């Protein structure tokens, strides 16, 4: 029996996003306690984003993301997937 993340070859994976995604090219930075990593937002929705990194890096489960084009705001985000130099994140509610 297949798990929810497995798919049959040749069949499209079901879409799990509830919001509309916009293709963008926006400079951003991942802000960690002892480092800042330059990156680029490649697509964006109200729930999350796909981020391109300049190189493959190991990231924590949660971190801050600064998007220059988004009112100079820093967002709390959760890492959802990581493949090569691309990651998917979801926006978390700030307390």
Tens digits of residue pLDDT in 1-41: 333 333 444 545 455 555 688 899 999 999 999 999 999 99
Whole-angstrom distance, CA of residue 67 vs CA of residue 91: 12
Grouping H, G, I as helix, E, B as strand and the rest as coil, residue 38 is strand
* E strand or H helix at 44: strand 35-44
Say what the pTM is: 0.76
pLDDT of residue 21: 84
Whole-angstrom distance, CA of residue 30 vs CA of residue 63: 7
Structure tokens, 3: 């798990």
pLDDT of residue 18: 58
């Amino acid at each position: 029996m297949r798990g929810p993340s497995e798919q049959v070859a040749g069949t499209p994976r079901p879409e799990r996003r509830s919001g509309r995604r916009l293709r963008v090219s926006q400079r951003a930075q991942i802000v960690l306690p002892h480092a800042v990593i330059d990156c680029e937002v490649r697509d964006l929705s109200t729930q999350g984003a796909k981020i391109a990194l300049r190189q493959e890096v190991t990231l924590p489960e949660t971190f801050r993301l600064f998007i220059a084009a988004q009112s100079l705001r820093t967002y709390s985000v959760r890492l959802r997937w990581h493949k090569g130099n691309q990651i998917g994140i979801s926006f978390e509610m700030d307390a």
